[in-house]
Amino acid sequence: MTYSLPDICSIIGATASSVSAAIITEISWDSRRIITPAGTLFFALHGARRDGRQFIAQLYQQGVRSFVTSEPGLDTLYSGAVFLRVTDPLQALQQLAAYHRSRFSLPVIGITGSNGKTIVKEWLYQLLHSRYNIVRSPRSYNSQIGVPVSVWQIEPQHNLAIFEAGISQPGEMEKLQAIIQPTIGVLTNIGEAHSAGFINRQQKLDEKLLLFKEAGIIIYCNDNDAVDQAVRKLPNARLSWGHNPEADILVVQSTASTTQTHIQLLYKEQPVEFSIYFTDEAAIENAITCAAVLLALGCEPVFIQEHMLLLQPVNMRLELKKGINNCVLINDSYSADINSLQNALQFLSQQSSSLTKTAILSDFIQAATDDSTLYGQILQALQENGVQKLIGIGPAISQALQQRSANQGMELQLYSSTESFIHQFRPSQFKDEAILVKGARIFGFEQLVPLLEQKAHQTVLEINLNALISNVKQYQQQLRPDTKIMAMVKAFAYGSGGAEIAGILQFHKVDYLGVAYADEGVELRKAGITLPIMVMNPEPAAFENIITYNLEPDMFSPEIFRAFSAFVAQEGLQHYPVHIEIETGMNRLGFLPEQWKELAMQLSQSSLLKVQSVFSHLAASEDAQEDAYTFAQFEKYNQAVGVLQQYLHYPFIKHIANTSAIGRLPQLQLDMVRLGIGMYGVGNIPGLQQVATLKTTVAQVKTLEAGETVSYNRRGVLQRTSKIATVRIGYADGYNRKLGYGNAYVLVHGQQAPVVGTVCMDMTMVDVTGIADVNTGDEVVIFGKDLPIQQLATWAGTIPYEIMTGISQRVKRVYFEE
C-alpha cells in the first residue's frame, strides 16, 4: 500500500514547513538499506551511539526526499526535501505502523516467549502457505523497530499475518501490542533468555502476556504452573496443550525413533496424530504449538497429519564461503520465498561491492499469488539490489521468466531441474562473482554448493558474524556516544579473514580500520572497503600502494616521517592524511619526548601532510597491578598531544585505549578506541560471545591395547585398552605441538577427548574411549562456545592472539549470519 506525505503527516501528528504530495511506498530507519529512494520515508531514529540525523546528507545525495526527524530547520539545508518534525521519531514510526495495521481486519497471529518464536512463525508459514496469503515478520524482526517494519508489509491481498514480539525490559510490550493487535496469541515458553531487564521471571511473563490483552484466544503450554495460572487470570479464551489432564489438547504420547518423532494428541475427545522429521525436545514442543494453532484455525486432523511431515528445518543462518575462481559464495540453500529473499540480497550486498552479483534461485514457495506477479516481484528485487546474472532452476521460474521482458540488463540462464544445471555445470562459467544460492529444499541445492565452493580440507574455521557485531556493540555500550571505534583487522583479521570481516564492520558503520602492513590495506580496498584505513607499519617500498589505494600511514619515527614527506612531495600531493605514533612506554615504535617539538614544528611549516590522529600503545592495560604505569603512559601521551596542539591549528583524533582498556579504564577513551581481539569474544566486559569455532573431522578410529604407543617418539603410551580417533588437524593448521601428550582435549559428540601423543603436521590423535558411536567423518571441535579459545591458549602456554593468528590459510573459513 501507499500513503501520501500529507496523510502520514496527519497520522503521526508531525509539523512541517511544507509538505509535498509525494507518495511513500517504503519506510526505512537504516541508511544502508534504501532500495527506491524517491518512495522512501526515512525515520531519523536516535540510538545510544548512532543518530539517524547524521545520515540525512548521505541519503539526500542518494535521492531520498522525505524524512521524519526531531531536529528543526533542516528544510533550508536541503532543497526539495520534506522534513516531518516530531518529538520522537521511533514513536512516530510505531504510530504509523499501528495505523496501518488498523486498516486491516485479517486474522493476526502474535507470537511471544523466551525461545522458539522464529521457528514457530516459520513453521506456521510452511504449514499454512497453501491455504493463506501470509505476511510475516522477516527473519526475527521482533523489536521496537522490527515490529513496525514487519507490520508495514501488510497488503490488501494478505489474509493471514504472523508476527513475532520480543522484549528486553518492562514497558515495551504494550507498544508492540498496539502495533500488532493480534487476534490469536501464541506463547511459546518462558525461560531464562532475555531476562536481564526484568526483576524476575514472573515480571517477564506478565509483560509478555500484555501482547494478548485484546486477542480472541491465547494458545500456550500449561505444563508450567506459573504460566497456566497467569493465563487463567486473563479474560481471553484459552487453548492449552500439555501433559496435564486439564489441558485442552492432551499430549498422549511422543515416540522418537532415529529420524522422526510420532506425536499423539487428544483434542475434544478426538485423536490427532502426526509425525515430524525431528527428534529434539524443542522441535517437538514447537511442532505441538503449531498443531494447536492449526486446530484453532479449524484445520482438519488429516491436514495436520499430511503437512507436519513436510516441515523443514528453519535455516537461521546465511553462510559465506570462498568460492571457485575468486568468487564469494553465499549459501541460503534451504528456503525460497519472497520475504526472505530481500534479507539474502542485503547480505549479498554487504560482501560484494567489487564483484559481479549472481543469484541462483529455484522455484519459489507460492501462496495465493500467481506466478507472473510472484516472479515479477523477484525480478524487481534482484534489479533493485544490482544483481547482474540470474540462474533460474525449476519449471515454474523458467516458464515465468521466459515470458517476461523485464530482465533488461540481467544475464538470464534457465534450467528445468537441479540435475540439468549440474549436468551442464562448468567451473569456468563463474569468475569474480558474489553468488547467492537460494532454493527450496526439494530442489536439493546442497548439491550445488560443493561445485561452487573453493576446495579445502575438512578443517574449518566458522565465523559467526552476528556474534562479532554483538561484541562490537557490547564494547560500544562502554563508550561515550561521541567516541569512535577503530577496528583492528591486521594479521588477516586475527586469522578470521580480513576482507570478509572488514565488509561486515563497514556495513555496521565502524569508524576506522587498522592494519599492520600496506598489502593488507590493499586487499581490503580491492574487496570494496571504503572506510579509512590506518597502516601501522608502513615501509618505503609500500608508499606507492599507500597513496594509490588511499591508505593512511603511521608516522612512528623521524626517518619514516622524512621519507614519506619526500614521497608525497615527489607525487605533487598536499595534506595527505597520516597518523602520529607517540612512544610512551611500550618501547617499540613512536616519537620520543625529545622529538615532539621538532615534529610539531615540521608539521606546522609544511602542507604536505595532515594529521588525522595522534595515538600511543599501552603496554599493560589488562593488568590492574600495572595501572600506575598505564596512567603514567597516559600522562606522557597527553604531554605530547599538548605540544602538537600548540603548533597544529586544526583538530585531530586522539586515541590510546585498546581492547583491555575500553572496559577497565573508561577515562582513557578520548576521541577513539582501538578494538581488536575483543570483537572475537576475548575481553573483560560481560555479554561477549564466542565468534570463532575451529572444527575438523575424524579420519579413522582404531582400538589399541594397553602398552601400545601413539604418534611420533612413542611418548603416547596407553595405560589401558583404548579407542583412538585420528582427527584431521595438525601443527601445519595452527594446532600447537604443546597441546599433545594429554595437555589438551577436544570435543567429540560434546564430550572431552584428550590428545594422545605428539601432535603431527597434519593429524592429531585423541582418546575417545567411553564416547559412544564415534565414526569416521564425525565432527570434532577444537575450540568454540563450549571449549573457549582462552582455555586452548592456557594449555599451549600462550595467548588467544597467537592461537587465532596461527590458524593456517589452508583452513577453510566459513562466515555465517544467523
Task: List Cβ neighbours of 814 (8 Å cut-off, separation of 6 or more).
Answer: 319, 320, 321, 460, 461, 462, 463
Strand 512-515 and strand 484-488: pairing?
A: parallel
- 490: annotated active-site residue: yes
- How are strands ordered across the β-sheet holding 82-85? 26-28, 40-43, 66-69, 82-85
Residue with grid cell 537504516, as numbered in its chain: 30
Residue with grid cell 593468528, as numbered in its chain: 805
- 125: annotated active-site residue: no
CA 51, distance to chain mean position in Å, is 21
The torsion region of residue 37 among left (phi > 0), alpha (psi -120 to 50) and beta comes to: alpha
* Torsion 12-17-23-24 (CA) sign: negative
- Among candidate residues 473, 526, 702, 712, the one labeled active-site is 712
Residues 737, 731 contacting (CB under 8 angstroms):
yes
3 state SS of 615: strand
Is 588 labelled a binding residue?
yes
Three-state SS annotation for 643-689: HHHHHCCCCCEEECCCHHHHHHCHHHCCCEEEECHHHHCCCCCCCCC
Residues 401, 375 contacting (CB under 8 angstroms):
yes
Task: Residue count of the chain, please give it.
Answer: 818
d(CA 774, CA 77): 68
Task: List Cβ neighbours of 582 (8 Å cut-off, separation of 6 or more).
Answer: 590, 591, 596, 614, 615, 616, 636, 637, 640, 641
The C-alpha cell at 297 is 484455525
**Beta-ladder partners of 266:** 250, 271
d(CA 708, CA 719): 8
The torsion region of residue 325 among left (phi > 0), alpha (psi -120 to 50) and beta comes to: left
The C-alpha cell at 742 is 594429554
Phi, psi values for residue 729, rounded to 5°: -155, 145
- Among candidate residues 175, 208, 490, 654, the one labeled active-site is 490
d(CA 193, CA 689): 14
Where does residue 312 rank: exposed (0-12), middle (13-18), buried (19+ CB within 10 A)? middle
CB under 8 Å, gap of 24 or more: what pairs does 517-524 form? 517/490, 517/542, 518/542, 518/545, 518/546, 518/549, 518/551, 518/553, 519/545, 520/489, 520/490, 520/491, 520/492, 521/545, 521/546, 521/549, 521/551, 522/549, 522/551, 523/498, 523/499, 524/489, 524/498, 524/499
Beta strands in 705-741 (DSSP E): 709-710, 716-717, 722-727
Residues 261, 278 contacting (CB under 8 angstroms):
yes
Side-chain-side CA neighbours of 723 within 13 Å: the count stands at 14
- DSSP per residue, 29-53: S-TT--S-GGGEEEE--B-SS-BGG
Identify how many contiguous H helices and E strands the chain contains and give both numbers.
26, 39
How is residue 743 annotated by DSSP?
T
Q: What angle do CA 567, 568, 571 make, to 5 degrees?
A: 90
- Indicate which residues carry an active-site annotation: 490, 712
* Numbered residues of the known binding site: 588, 761
* Numbered residues of the known binding site for substrate: 588, 761
